Every structure is written in C-alpha cells, then in structure tokens.
Structure 1
Amino acid sequence: MFQNCGSFIFLPNPGTSSNKFLENLLKENGATIVSNFAGYLQSNPKEVTILIDDSFVDSNMNLIQRDIFQREAGLNNIDEFFDKVEDLNIHCFKTSCVTKWVRNKTFTFQKDDLIKLRPSVITISDDTNNGTSSSDEHSEVSTDVGDGGKNEDTMETSQPVKDPVYSNESTTLLVNNRSKYKNNELIVEALKRLTKKYEVKGEKFRARSYRLAKQSIENCDFDISSGEEAHTKLRNIGPSIARKIQIILDTGVLPGLNDSIGLEDSLKYFKNCYGIGPEIAKRWNLLNFESFCSAAKNDPEEFISDWSVLFGWSYYEDWLRKMSRNECLAHLERVKSSLGEIDPECQVELQGSYNRGYSKCGDIDLLFFKPFCNDTAELANIMESLCIKLFRDGYILCFLQLTPILERMFAEKILERLQTARIVGYGEREKWYSSEIIKKFFMGVKLSTRKLEELKEMDIDEGTFFIEQEEETKLKPIDQYMSLNSRDGNYCRRLDFFCCKWDELGAGRIHYTGSKEYNRWIRILAAQKGLKLTQHGLFRDNILLESFNERRIFELLNLKYVEPKDRNNIEWEKKRLNK
C-alpha cells in the first residue's frame, strides 16, 4: 500500500488500455480513481493528483499538443481548466511516474517531476506534436478515409523561432564531419531517425509526417538552404518540421533526438514480434519486463489470449529478414501448384510490396479470386482447403489464426509452444479458433531446400524500388529457448491469403497493392470530390460507380493511371491530374 495516497485523475483519455492497467495498479495500492474529473474539481479537492499521458509532455516537462489534449479530454476551454488546476494547487505528473511509486511503495515526488502546464517560453523539441492525434486510424490499408486530408504538421504559431538556446544534453550529432555532406543528406538522416522513433512508439500520425517530409527532401532537386525555404517550396514541410530543419542546418544537431533511446530500444524489441502492438510493448516496458521470458512468467494471459504471439516469438529473427523478389515468386508458384489441384478456376496474384517493385520484401501478400465468383464464403473454403493441403505437405509451418478444422490439425502445436514457454493456466480455454469461416489467412511458410538451391542459381531481380536493409534484431539469449529460427539460411516466411469478389477486382487490386500512404492519398482525393473509395469500389452517395475495372476508377477520379511501381513515394502527386 502507498503511503500518503489520495485520488488520481487520468487525462486526457482515461479509457486507454495502458491507463486502465495503471488504474488497477493504483487501486491495488489503496488509491482512488476519479472518472468525472470536471465535477470533482468543482468540489475543490485537496488530495487529488492529475496524471497526464507521457506523449503530451516534452523532455523539459512542458505540456504540448494543447489542442489535441483539449479535444481528447472534452474540455470547452483549456485555459479555464488550467486556471482551476493552478488555483487549487493540484500537482500534475506523467503517467509513467506510477510505476516508480509502486516500486518505491510511496507517493513521493521531486520538483523536477512536475509538469508545467503553461511554459513561459516556446520550446523546441522533436516531441512537439504537429497538431495530430497520436494514433493514426486512417493509416491502415483497410481504412475508408473520410477526412479532408489536412496538413498534419501545424503548430499554434507559424512564425519561425529564432536564436533557440541549445544545450549539450540530449543532443545527437547527425554526422561527424558535416562539410562532406550536402544539406539535404543531413536533413534526410535526421527525418529518417525521427520517423523510426515514432513508428516504434506507435505514434503513426507523427511518424507519417516525418516520413512524408523525408520523401519530399529526397525528391528535392535543389540544395535546401533554410527551414523557411523547405516550408515554402516543398510539400509536406510544415512550420514545426521547418524549425527542426533550420536547427539542423545551423548546428548539425537536433535537441531531444536521443531522449528516449533506451525506451525505443525496449519497445522495438517487443514490437518486432508478430502480434505485439505498441500498447502491449509500452505496458511491458512500464512493468520493467526486459525479455519475452519475463513477460511470459509475469503476464502469461497475454500469450494465452493471443496465442499467435508464441509463434512471433518462435520465428522472431526469421520474420524480420527480408526476402528477394525471386523468393516471393517461388512462394507464389508453390501455392499455385497446389491451388490447381483444389480448384483450377481459382486464381492468385502477388500484391503488396512485390507488386510495387520493392527490391526486398518483408512478407508475401496473395490475392485470391475466381472468374464470376462473388461469393467470398466459397473463396474462403477454397483457401481453407488449400491451407490444409499445404500444411500436410509441410510447406505451412504455423497458422496465426484458425478455423475449427484447422484447429483440430494445429492445436497440438499451440500447446507445445505454451509448454515450451513454461506458461500454465490455459487449460480452461475452450477453443483456439477465431471464427467458423475466415476470409484472411495468416501463416508462416518455408520452401524446400532444393527450391532454395535453385533460387541461388537464378539471376537476381532487383526490382524498381530499392529498400534499405535494416539492422537485424536478434532474440536475447534469455529468450532463445523458444527459437525455431533457421540456422541454414532457409528462413520461415510470413504469408497472407486474401480473397476478393470478381466484381470488385479492380478496387481490390488498388487496395492490396498499396502503399498505405498511396491508399490514404487517393481515398482522401476521392472524398474531396464527393466520392468514396474502398476495397469494394468507388461510390457516390452509396451508389456504386465502378469496382471491376481498375483503370476506369482512375478515370472517374480524373487521374492518370499510376503504375504500382510509382505508388511507393510522393511522386504520384506531381502528375496526378489529366491535362
């Protein structure tokens, strides 16, 4: 139990899974959680503490993203709210302080722990939000976009900040010798790091802003001389990013970039595992779990409720390795040969990054369709029968979701993984399958050794879009006991099956080809024209205009057809309208 414990209010959004977890920790230690904070503050409380989500606090303990904070907290006037908090002398802390209090068994703080609600000066930090939400609901391929496509890098003021004060603390030197780099290379390197940082943290909107800004700089045909020049001459460079560019050009450093390297490394280790999202990774980090072994011991329910994580752990290193385009084709041919035995009329195509010409692919996306067949249940049955055959043939090593039939074949492997992970308490679970009929199948597969040797003799297909090979992440020694990773170079690969109605083939190809950024852009463009584009077709007022003919969809949007290989970056925007 805490000493000197009182009441706590979570802001701006108490309903997130991480906040619910922290609420339970506080309750277990004798604290009271306040749900109706507006009414509670009216009663002039004396022993209440406000806990603010870490993403709304920068490295200098200043509150940031005021507009988003106000919206998510449901406040009519954020300044009036802060006036009330200050008048009552209520202390505000980051939510991450909870674990420290629990660990120390006492509610104590230092002055440096207090959040400054209204800093007297403008601070420059890569944690300054660009006016967007920290969770990007529209970034996934499957999302139907209905917003207006606003620039997501807006600030409360658009005036450049001059003469910022720099310190040596929390600063990263981007290059050792700036003189041998062009300005653009320096900026791209910084934006690349910021993109990766916020991808790891699960802040998709912010990561997207930096990624698009990086692409603009990469496609820039002049050497950028100032942040203001980048802001006025290039797309996707808002005032906040322009400030950072100016700092980089002036000093070669960016304050705050290394503030959370330890956190990023910890989150990245967990998030690289299939089935582990940012919320679980953050929760495990708060609990000081440093390995999957520790998580399995202290949070076994996570592995029982989502058993696919067990296989993400087991094939952790294999699934992080990129594969050649030739290997993708070999997997397609392997699937096609078995599909012909099950239903010769059914067809399958490679989609995703392969279709966009990537030199290396992280996984394989296969789209199934059958001429004149609009029954997705029939297609689902075909794919299920194919999975059964491929599993029995030894090509499929593991499933990541199940039907009842697949469960009967595969449940034994799930139990074996649970036992190897030393997890108990799963005996009461009645079923492992997700649905009677599923229309998307996710799995791990491996080619035969002979086929792999044949691939080595083939000419290398480099594709049309080069993808950088990221530094490999390996399982920690303490987690290696679950490893099923390859030791001979024949890696297990991630393979996904999707199905598409025949009448929706054109829209389906757009959707499953991607990229996510391209799909978002074209759907926003459709919305601006009073239309709605989804994987099911192009609609006006819920009336279908086109779904089968991909090029006709482009015509109705008044767009030149964009080849899949050109859907990887922002080049499509330069030639989007027909002349």
Structure 2
Amino acid sequence: MILSGKSFIFLPNPDTSSSTFLKNVLKDKGATIISNVEDCFQLDAKEVTILVDDSFVDSNMNLIQRDIFQREANSNDIDNLFNKIEKLKIQSVKVTCITKWIQNEKFTIENGDLINLTPPIITISDDTNNGQCSSEAETEISTDVDDNGDDGGEKKVVKELPQLPIGSDLQLNKGTKLIVNNKPKYKNNELVIEALKRLTKKYEIKGEKFRARGYRLAKQSVENCDFDISSGAEAHTKLRNIGPSIARKIQVILDTGVLPGLNDSMALEDKLNYFKNCYGIGPEIAKRWNLLCYENFCIASKKDPDDFISDWSVLFGWSYYDDWLHKMSRNECLAHLDMVQNALNEIDPECQVELQGSYNRGYSKCGDIDLLFFKPFCDDTAELAGIMESLCMKLYKDGYIHCFLQLTPSLERLFAEKVMERFQTANINGYKKRKRWYSSEIIKKFFMGVKLSTKKLRELKEMATDEGTFPIEEEEETKLKPIDQYMSLNSEDENYCRRLDFFCCKWDELGAGRIHYTGSKEYNRWIRILAAQEGFKLTQHGLFRDNMLLESFNEHKIFELLNLKYVEPKDRNNIDWEKKNVE
C-alpha cells in the first residue's frame, strides 16, 4: 500500500468531523494516524507528515491566522510547537495533498507542497483553500452584532499602500484575474462588490456557510454605501459588517485591482458546484467525491452506490438536475399556489395555504415554491400533516406531482415503484436490501417535484410579467454532463419540473411561523440575535422570555414587544433593517 509505514496528524485540530473520512482514506492506504502532536516528536521525522487545514495556508504556502490556529490546536505556545517541528525537519503540507496521492497512487512531497509555518511576514490573501474551513477560522467574519475579526477583536489600522490606477492592466501572479468595472458612479465600490460577490459564491459552493455569510453581508454593505470607498480602513470604520480581515482584502483590491489567489481554486469550485447543485448532495459528499476523483454522477453511482441507496432522493435530484436549476416567474409561483389551493378545497375547505419564502419577499424570480399550511384554531400538527399527506396523494394521482423526495408509508405504496425504477436506470444494485423507503409514519414537511399543464403554461406566457420588488441577478446555470444524461427526466419543451415544499404551522403560532418561513435567513438571524440581546428568545414557535411565551399568533405584536417597527416582507432581503426601525 502506498502509505504503508507513514504516519500523519491533522492540525490544528485532529478531531474535527471533517477529517474523519480523510483518516479512513489514509488508513485504507496503510497509513497510521496520530492523535497527539507530541507523539510526532517520538517518531522518525522522515515517516511523519503534518496535514494542515487548507484554510490556514495562503497561496504562497505561508501559514496565516496564527492566533486562531493556536486556539484550535489548544496550545499555549504555538511558536515553540512550530520550532520543534522545524528543528526535527517534520514536513507540513496541505490536507488536499491527499487527493494527489490517491489519484497518482504514489506518496510524493515536492518543495512546492511544503508549508512555511513561520513566515517572515503576514501576507494578505483571500485564504484560498481546497479543504474544510475550521470553525474557529470563521470568527474572522463580522456579524450583525459584533466583529471579532481574525485578529481576536483588536481594532487594527489597515496600512495604506501606494494607490495604483483602478482597472490598470496588472497581473500579480499566475491565476490572478484582473477585476475591471468601468461604471462611472462609485467605481471603487463596484470593484469591491464584484470581488466580494465571487468570494461569497466561492465559500457557498464549499459549504463554508459562515464565511460565505460574512462576505455576503459585506457585499450588501458596500452596495448600500452612499459614498465611494477610498480605503479598507474607511470601509471598516464607516460600514457595518466590514471586519479587519475583509478590510484588508478591500485595501488590496483598491490598491491593485485584483485579489491574489481568487482564481486559484476555480476549477475545484466548478467541480464541487456540479455535484452540490444536485438535490440531496451537500458540501461534504461533494468534497468526498472530489477527493476520490469522481468526475460525474455516473462514476459516483458505480463507486459509491450506498450514497444513493441511503438517500434515494439524490436520484431525483440527478434526474431533474437541469429543471430544478431554472428559476420561475412570480406568475408561475401563483399558478402553482392556485393548483394546490383548488385541490386543498376538496380535501379540507377550512385549511388555508400561503406562499412564503422568496416570493413573499418580492423576488422577481424564485428557485422553488414554499407553501405554509394552517387551519383556524387548529394546533394539532398531526392533523395538518394528515391533510397535507392526503393532498399529496390527490395531486400525485392528478398528475401534478411528478416525484416525492420524502415519503410516508401511504406515499411509499404509491411511489416506491418509481424509486426502484430510478435505481434500475442508474444501474445501482443492492437497493433491494433496503426494507423501506419512507422516513417516518408522520411527516410535517413534504418535498416534491411538480409540473403545470401545458395549457396553463400557455396562459402564463400571455399574462403581464410581475417583476416583484427585488430583482435578482441572472447566473449561468450548470448543466448535466453528457455522461450523466441517461438519467435525465428534464423537460425538452420548457415545461420544467419545479421544486415545491409543504410546511405546516399551528394556528396559535401563525405570526412567528410567518416570520420564520418568510425569511430571509439573514433577517431571521438578525431579529433573533436582537431579541436575545434584549433578554428574549424568538423561534418559529413564538417570542419567549424566561421560557414563558409572550406572543406567537400576532406578527405585528411580536415586533412591538421587541420595540421594533414592523418590517414588510419585501424589505427583509437587504441589511438596512435598523434604518427602518429608526425612521
């Protein structure tokens, strides 16, 4: 085996959940895993390799964020630790070197792989990495409440560097892309927005949600800025959600027109994005498949069939891959609501349903449809779940629902044959060993794929377009690769299958439920943190103080108790909520 006789330790934290799979990969190749860094010093240095979390290594192979590294390593003297490592000449490389070893079936460490644990200066980069972000590293991201920064909260002045012309033809190093924007108004801001937008997408793809959130909030702050930013220090001082780390990046962008390392991992991000865009595939599975050098779903299904058997909904995410990435108009969302309402009236006329999510917040186009079910004076969620289940059965028999992504025993009797047909088409064996496909006897959230009739789609095309109140940027859609097309159930006539979700809410909790299911996630987080600061607790079940329910039914009353002005759903997409509460 290629790693026989080799020993490895993961730093800074050898016991994270993200390293579990990697440890097993190394063991399968004959390696020994070390759990305590001190044990490294008792072994032959030539047989020991330190695997450093990529988020702590910049594009120049220098260690960054040393203070966070020290906290995660639970070390009181990180310098002494590094000195020991260097004195014994123990080699340190990035975790993603494992991919190279597995792919090449050979253990090699080149000079370019080695990490400098004690760089002479701290370099500025976008912390480009191909691995898992550590939980502590995420503290560099500023929040709505405070900004600890990656330097422990200390307010640092960003060094002003000689200003170069924005948009000048400059190439700093290989793989660095010039960011150019010629808009006459606030051209500095446009430059920064473009970079922050790409950083947000980068970390969203990698599943590093806190870091992505930080860049997204920073981008929104710059978008709402009413002056042209002249320096990172100014952005840090005058704008919310711009912490010291992001301020340093802004300074580099303004000085050079680029952010070193931003393009270094674009190929990896494209590959992860291809997998992650499939329903049921999260960041961890995407990263694991990448590590194992899977290029498509076809290979993954042959090499790791258990991933599909354990979560069969992935098969339908694969089958409707293209359709579910197409966004729909607001008019189409209403057409789906009408379809559901008409069927619901036949099952239980008293039960009501509302559109929530991005539609309720005024998005010009929506990725899926979120429907909230409730019944006057009904607080029995089991009763509501039964109504939704009966509704699903009717809509499936009517041909509106094309697939379920979650099953009860009753729905399984209707749909199990379709699940097995997808396994057969994918040539995945072993699925018959699974005894049942349903997740629970009673479920209170139903996820499915639906299609309108061709006649209804023609009617929609003749209607005036509802642009909403919040335009969204069009993004290039990922397409299913040719090798994976044999599973496709995607539309060929623009009658796309759409993602539809059912949620239920107790009558007494309707106000809190509307806040929760309307979103956005950032708004929900902001208002919940604000409530906590005032001694309250806000959830989808209501507003509490000292475990005593204060209000859950009246949405406006919840805002009043929090001493906030009511924020309309259409205003919950941005980050200027505080302004609306002081106007």
- 158, 170, 187: which one pairs with 1:160? 158
Query: Which stretch has the larger CA shift, 392-401 or 241-250?
Result: 241-250
Partners of 2:183 and 2:144 lie apart in 1 by: 40
Q: Does 1:481 align with 2:499?
A: no
Query: Which stretch has the larger CA shift, 166-175 or 367-376?
Result: 166-175
Partner of 1:81: 81
TM-score (norm: length of structure 1)? 0.93
- 246, 251, 254: which one pairs with 1:246? 251
Q: CA deviation at 1:76?
A: 4.2
Query: Which stretch has the larger CA shift, 13-22 or 344-353?
Result: 13-22
Partner of 1:437: 442
Identity fraction in percent: 75
1:379-394 maps to which residues of 2 (within 5 A)? 379-394=384-399
Partners of 2:144 and 2:322 lie apart in 1 by: 40
Q: In the alignment, residue 145 of structure 2 is paired with which amino acid?
A: G
Does the residue aligned with 2:447 lie in a helix, a strand or coil? strand
1:276-291 maps to which residues of 2 (within 5 A)? 276-291=281-296
Query: Which stretch has the larger CA shift, 430-439 or 39-48?
Result: 39-48
Cα distance, 1:575–1:137 mapped onto 2, change above 3 Å: farther
Cα distance, 1:320–1:137 mapped onto 2, change above 3 Å: farther
- 388, 398, 402: which one pairs with 1:397? 402
Partners of 1:457 and 1:106 lie apart in 2 by: 62
Cα distance, 1:325–1:230 mapped onto 2, change above 3 Å: same
Matched-pair contact (CA < 8 Å) for 1:135–1:202: no
Q: CA deviation at 1:188?
A: 1.1
Partner of 1:111: 111
- 501, 506, 509: which one pairs with 1:501? 506
Q: Does 1:319 align with 2:321?
A: no
Partner of 1:421: 426
Matched-pair contact (CA < 8 Å) for 2:279–2:314: yes
Q: In the alignment, residue 40 of structure 1 is paired with which amino acid?
A: D
Partner of 1:40: 39
Partners of 2:3 and 2:477 lie apart in 1 by: 45
Q: CA deviation at 1:501?
A: 0.7
Q: Does 1:546 align with 2:551?
A: yes
Q: CA deviation at 1:179?
A: 7.4
Q: CA deviation at 1:243?
A: 2.0
Partner of 1:516: 521
Query: Which stretch has the larger CA shift, 168-177 or 332-341?
Result: 168-177
Q: Does 1:258 align with 2:257?
A: no
Partners of 1:291 and 1:326 lie apart in 2 by: 35
Q: In the alignment, residue 11 of structure 1 is paired with which amino acid?
A: L
Partners of 1:424 and 1:545 lie apart in 2 by: 54
Cα distance, 1:153–1:565 mapped onto 2, change above 3 Å: farther
Partner of 1:150: 146
Matched-pair contact (CA < 8 Å) for 1:65–1:128: no
Cα distance, 1:525–1:60 mapped onto 2, change above 3 Å: same
Q: Does 1:208 align with 2:207?
A: no
Q: CA deviation at 1:175?
A: 1.6
TM-score (norm: length of structure 2)? 0.92
Q: CA deviation at 1:433?
A: 1.0
Matched-pair contact (CA < 8 Å) for 1:153–1:209: no
Partners of 2:178 and 2:172 lie apart in 1 by: 12
Q: Does 1:457 align with 2:428?
A: no
1:323-342 maps to which residues of 2 (within 5 A)? 323-342=328-347
Partners of 1:472 and 1:378 lie apart in 2 by: 40
Query: Which stretch has the larger CA shift, 94-103 or 447-456?
Result: 94-103
Query: Which stretch has the larger CA shift, 508-517 or 193-202?
Result: 193-202
1:192-203 maps to which residues of 2 (within 5 A)? 192-203=197-208
Cα distance, 1:79–1:529 mapped onto 2, change above 3 Å: farther
Q: CA deviation at 1:252?
A: 1.6
Partner of 2:24: 24
Partner of 1:66: 66
Partners of 1:97 and 1:403 lie apart in 2 by: 44
Partner of 1:182: 187
Q: CA deviation at 1:233?
A: 1.4
Deviations 1:16-54 (A, max 9, x none): 55522222222122211123x145246466432221222
Does the residue aligned with 1:123 lie in a helix, a strand or coil? coil
Q: In the alignment, residue 494 of structure 1 is paired with which amino acid?
A: R
1:224-243 maps to which residues of 2 (within 5 A)? 224-243=229-248
Partners of 1:423 and 1:369 lie apart in 2 by: 40
Does the residue aligned with 1:253 lie in a helix, a strand or coil? coil
Q: CA deviation at 1:232?
A: 1.5
Matched-pair contact (CA < 8 Å) for 1:350–1:366: yes
Q: In the alignment, residue 125 of structure 1 is paired with which amino acid?
A: S
- 356, 362, 370: which one pairs with 1:365? 370
Does the residue aligned with 1:254 lie in a helix, a strand or coil? coil
Q: Unpaired runs of 5+ in structure 2?
A: 163-169
Deviations 1:386-424 (A, max 9, x none): 111111111111111111111111111111111111111
Q: CA deviation at 1:2?
A: 1.9
- 561, 566, 581: which one pairs with 1:576? 581
Query: Which stretch has the larger CA shift, 5-14 or 283-292?
Result: 5-14
Partners of 1:160 and 1:166 lie apart in 2 by: 23
Does the residue aligned with 2:259 lie in a helix, a strand or coil? strand
Matched-pair contact (CA < 8 Å) for 2:8–2:48: yes
**Higher RCO by CA contacts (8 Å cutoff, separation 6 or greater):** 1
Partner of 2:166: none
Matched-pair contact (CA < 8 Å) for 1:136–1:203: no
Does the residue aligned with 1:576 lie in a helix, a strand or coil? helix
Cα distance, 1:397–1:426 mapped onto 2, change above 3 Å: same
Deviations 1:479-501 (A, max 9, x none): 11111111111100000000111
RMSD: 2.5
Partners of 1:64 and 1:448 lie apart in 2 by: 56
Cα distance, 1:65–1:383 mapped onto 2, change above 3 Å: farther
Deviations 1:152-199 (A, max 9, x none): 644367232454998332311112768797222122111111111111
Cα distance, 1:425–1:331 mapped onto 2, change above 3 Å: same
Q: In the alignment, residue 10 of structure 1 is paired with which amino acid?
A: F
Partners of 1:477 and 1:173 lie apart in 2 by: 32
Q: CA deviation at 1:59?
A: 1.4
Q: CA deviation at 1:572?
A: 0.8
Q: How many equivalent pairs are there?
A: 568
Q: CA deviation at 1:247?
A: 2.1
Partners of 1:33 and 1:173 lie apart in 2 by: 42
Partner of 1:223: 228
Matched-pair contact (CA < 8 Å) for 1:4–1:106: no
Q: In the alignment, residue 420 of structure 2 is paired with which amino acid?
A: L
Cα distance, 1:178–1:392 mapped onto 2, change above 3 Å: closer
Q: Does 1:532 align with 2:524?
A: no
Q: CA deviation at 1:476?
A: 0.8
Partner of 2:175: 170
Matched-pair contact (CA < 8 Å) for 1:148–1:527: no
Partner of 1:299: 304
Partners of 2:3 and 2:527 lie apart in 1 by: 56
Does the residue aligned with 1:468 lie in a helix, a strand or coil? coil
Q: CA deviation at 1:226?
A: 2.0
Cα distance, 1:19–1:525 mapped onto 2, change above 3 Å: same
Q: CA deviation at 1:66?
A: 3.2
Q: In the alignment, residue 392 of structure 1 is paired with which amino acid?
A: K
Query: Which stretch has the larger CA shift, 218-227 or 60-69?
Result: 60-69
Partner of 1:377: 382
